[in-house]
Amino acid sequence: MAVSQSDGERELAELIVTALNLEGVLPEEIDPEAPLFKTGLGLDSIDALELALEISKRYGFQLRSDDENNVHIFASLRSLAQHIAQHRVN
């Protein structure tokens, strides 16, 4: 499957696959606009916490579990990568 990812999306896709130990998923094959949770990659709430932790370590800013925008921030690879681009410190 050929999908078009920006450099930031590709870097985040690699972090997701590595941090969550996803089996049979290649970073370059993650559709930037597909849902990350439930359908799409099929991630769950523990994955969301794990991902938030890895993003904090890599990019130097906190993703808060009580942020009311989390549904939008974590909706897709693209939305998460855009949020990181806006807030990253590292």
Q: Considering only residues 20 through 39, tell me which ones interact with other proteins, judged by CB under 8 A.
A: 20-23
Q: Is 44 in the site for other proteins (CB under 8 A)?
A: yes
In SS3 terms, the chain reads as CCCCCCHHHHHHHHHHHHHCCCCCCCHHHCCCCCECECCCCCECHHHHHHHHHHHHHHHCCCCCCCCCCHHHHCCEHHHHHHHHHHHCCC
Of the residues 39, 46, 68, 89, which one makes contact with other proteins according to CB under 8 A: 46
Q: Closest distance between other proteins and the C-beta of residue 23, in Å? A: 6
Return residues touching other proteins (CB under 8 A): 20-23, 42, 44, 46, 49-50, 53, 56-57
